């Protein structure tokens, strides 16, 4: 059980994070507060209670634990490549391989993070690893490619604990690790993960980062210790924030809701009870969101658009990345790394190459005898506790089932590569680009600047949000693929790389 919540009523978050810093010997420590304290109230009676969506629900507290260490991943040609990376240390026990990413891939409504837990959780499917032996047993040799997904909602408070379990394949290294949210407007440098201005976590130590969710959009996160090395080695993943608009109905006013949320945030920070809305959507002329539809399980949006234009049914993260096998090899064999010669030869979507990108039938639970038996499935790496767990758990298959009408898929595309620009294209089904670098495409007059295209190009550190609409699209299998021909290969093997399928069916 997590027993730190009683501390949170009277101390600022920064002081609590400082308390997690090791004094003398390093120690693992996981922190996750509960609602009902002065800093984390269930509701504030001084506020207007008329808005039942955003005022009385000031955002959830979401907690997630990750381990910094090493591991292996399997490339499309069967080559096992060595990783520095992050491992999931919460949510490991869920027997459903897709349940760890609720609301993603399956299209079901959900707002939790893939490995979210809270301070009262005791279920195996959601609890964090809090005992040192448990953290080590589950964390070593279990780096994921890419890093565990983080998905939160606007107004949420995220407590992200990083436990450094060390590199078991490189006992000569005493690598520190951090978490840096790239492109994320973090007000405190203390939690920014840049070691010059914050802290770095040593082996056998934990640190809990605190964030309030920023504007909706697609971001990514990575370790900021020796970034060219640690990013190339695999310490990078995606983060996205879902909008407040998801919590509104057609009768709610978006302007009032955004203003109310600003009041709530101001109250949490400095006790203010007034708030203004600087968002361009704060205008009485802005249309209300579309009515939630029972056929889609509730309306979901990519941004606070005000007109329902970013509504989607299925949410799919598409994380572009690549590995240089020579760099990874020398990283495992105690040799100096040639940064100037770094060149990706394995090209990946969500850590996999085609056809592994479309394999959705992998047991994520890590049960011996089942993991690794699925043809073309990702590598199952055995941890120190004897259990095998997949290191590439996230597929990239996009399914649009039109049984109850046309469906729209939101693709959250981010480029996590440190060496390559990539162009992704579709055949037979156009992409509508609605956002870039976590910003809705809209001018200062409120006009949508969305556009349709069949290809988007991203460099490292960029993100693009696109919608695929199955309306008028014949049933069949379509492809999302890189037009960089060398990106459709797995080292010396042709055919594979950055490609996945879009299945449209009735």
Task: Name the domain count of the chain.
Answer: 1
Contact call for residues 298 and 109 (beta carbons, < 8 A): yes
Tell me the C-alpha distance between 363 and 205, whole Å: 30
Residue 465 inside a domain? The answer is no
The token duo for 41 is 């109230």
Strands in 61-74's sheet, in edge-to-edge order, are 80-88, 61-74, 157-164, 206-212
Cα 297–Cα 302–Cα 304 angle in degrees, nearest 5: 105
476 forms beta bridges with 504
Contact call for residues 126 and 105 (beta carbons, < 8 A): no
Nearest residue to 139 (alpha-carbon basis) of 28, 264, 277, 19: 28
Q: Where are the beta strands (DSSP E) in 118-259?
A: 150-153, 157-164, 180-182, 206-212, 217-222, 236-242
Cα 222–Cα 129–Cα 84 angle in degrees, nearest 5: 30
Contact call for residues 347 and 322 (beta carbons, < 8 A): yes
What one-character DSSP code corresponds to residue 226?
S
Specify the residue for token string 């010059």. 196
Tell me the C-alpha distance between 72 and 332, whole Å: 11
Range of the domain at 37: 5-49+59-243
Residue 373 inside a domain? The answer is no
Residue 309 inside a domain? The answer is no
Q: ω into residue 85 within 30 of 0, thus cis? A: no
pLDDT at residue 387 in the model: 73
Residue 117 inside a domain? The answer is yes
Q: Where are the beta strands (DSSP E) in 324-470?
A: 346-349, 380-382, 388-390, 398-401, 408-415, 422-426, 431-436, 439-440, 451-453, 455-458, 463-469
- For CA atoms 446, 249, 102, 455, give the dihedral sign: negative
CATH number at residue 204: 2.60.40.420
Give the helix/strand (H/E) hosting 63: strand 61-74
Mean pLDDT, the chain cut into blocks of 10 residues (506 residues total) = 36 37 60 75 44 47 89 89 91 44 31 55 66 86 90 86 92 91 79 87 93 88 91 92 81 67 54 51 55 55 90 93 93 82 93 88 38 51 72 89 91 93 95 96 89 96 96 96 95 91 93
Specify the residue for token string 């994520």. 364
Residue 420 inside a domain? The answer is no
Residue 140 inside a domain? The answer is yes
Tell me the C-alpha distance between 458 and 415, whole Å: 6
Nearest residue to 355 (alpha-carbon basis) of 450, 181, 218, 495: 495
Tell me the C-alpha distance between 182 and 196, whole Å: 16
Nearest residue to 223 (alpha-carbon basis) of 147, 133, 157, 156: 147
pLDDT at residue 412 in the model: 96
Residue 15 inside a domain? The answer is yes
Residue 402 inside a domain? The answer is no
What one-character DSSP code corresponds to residue 473?
P
């Amino acid at each position: 059980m997590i027993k730190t919540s009683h501390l949170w009523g009277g101390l600022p978050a920064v002081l609590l994070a400082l308390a997690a810093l090791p004094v003398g010997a390093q120690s693992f420590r996981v922190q996750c507060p509960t609602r009902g304290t002065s800093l984390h109230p269930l509701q504030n009676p001084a506020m207007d209670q008329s808005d039942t969506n955003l005022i009385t629900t000031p955002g959830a507290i979401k907690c997630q634990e990750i381990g910094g260490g090493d591991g292996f991943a399997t490339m499309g040609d069967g080559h096992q490549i060595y990783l520095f990376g992050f491992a999931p240390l919460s949510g490991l026990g869920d027997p459903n391989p897709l349940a760890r990413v609720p609301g993603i891939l399956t299209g079901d409504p959900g707002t939790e993070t893939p490995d979210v837990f809270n301070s009262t959780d005791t279920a195996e499917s959601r609890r964090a690893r809090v005992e040192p032996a448990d953290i080590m047993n589950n964390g070593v040799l279990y780096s994921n490619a890419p890093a565990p997904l983080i998905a939160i909602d606007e107004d949420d408070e995220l407590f992200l604990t990083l436990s450094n379990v060390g590199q078991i394949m490189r006992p000569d290294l005493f690598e520190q690790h951090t978490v840096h949210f790239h492109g994320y407007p973090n007000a405190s440098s203390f939690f920014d993960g840049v070691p010059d201005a914050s802290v770095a976590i040593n082996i056998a130590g934990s640190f809990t980062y605190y964030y309030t969710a920023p504007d909706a959009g697609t971001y990514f996160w990575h370790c900021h210790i020796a970034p060219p090395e640690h990013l190339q080695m695999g310490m990078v993943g995606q983060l996205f924030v879902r909008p407040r608009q998801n919590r509104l109905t057609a009768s709610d006013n978006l302007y009032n809701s955004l203003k109310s949320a600003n009041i709530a945030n101001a109250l949490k920070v400095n006790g203010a009870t007034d708030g203004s809305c600087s968002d361009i959507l704060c205008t009485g002329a802005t249309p209300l969101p579309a009515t939630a539809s029972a056929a889609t399980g509730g309306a979901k949006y990519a941004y606070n658009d005000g007109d329902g234009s970013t509504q989607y049914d299925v949410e799919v993260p598409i994380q572009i990345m690549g590995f240089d096998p020579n760099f990874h090899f020398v990283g495992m064999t105690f040799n100096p790394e040639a940064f100037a010669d770094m060149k990706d030869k394995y090209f990946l979507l969500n850590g996999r190459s085609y056809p592994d990108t479309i394999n959705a039938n992998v047991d994520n639970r890590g049960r011996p005898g089942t993991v690794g038996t699925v043809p073309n499935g990702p590598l199952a790496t055995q941890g120190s506790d004897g259990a095998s767990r997949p290191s590439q758990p996230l597929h990239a298959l996009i399914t649009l089932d039109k049984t109850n009408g046309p469906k729209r898929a939101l693709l959250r595309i981010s480029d996590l590569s440190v060496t390559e620009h990539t162009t992704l294209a579709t055949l037979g089904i156009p992409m509508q680009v609605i956002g870039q670098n976590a910003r809705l495409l809209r001018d200062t007059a409120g006009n949508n600047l969305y556009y349709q295209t069949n290809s988007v190009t991203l460099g490292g550190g960029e993100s693009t949000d696109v919608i695929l609409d199955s309306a008028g699209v014949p049933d069949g299998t379509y492809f999302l693929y890189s037009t960089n021909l060398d990106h459709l290969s797995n080292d010396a093997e042709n055919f594979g790389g950055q490609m996945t399928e879009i299945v449209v069916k009735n």
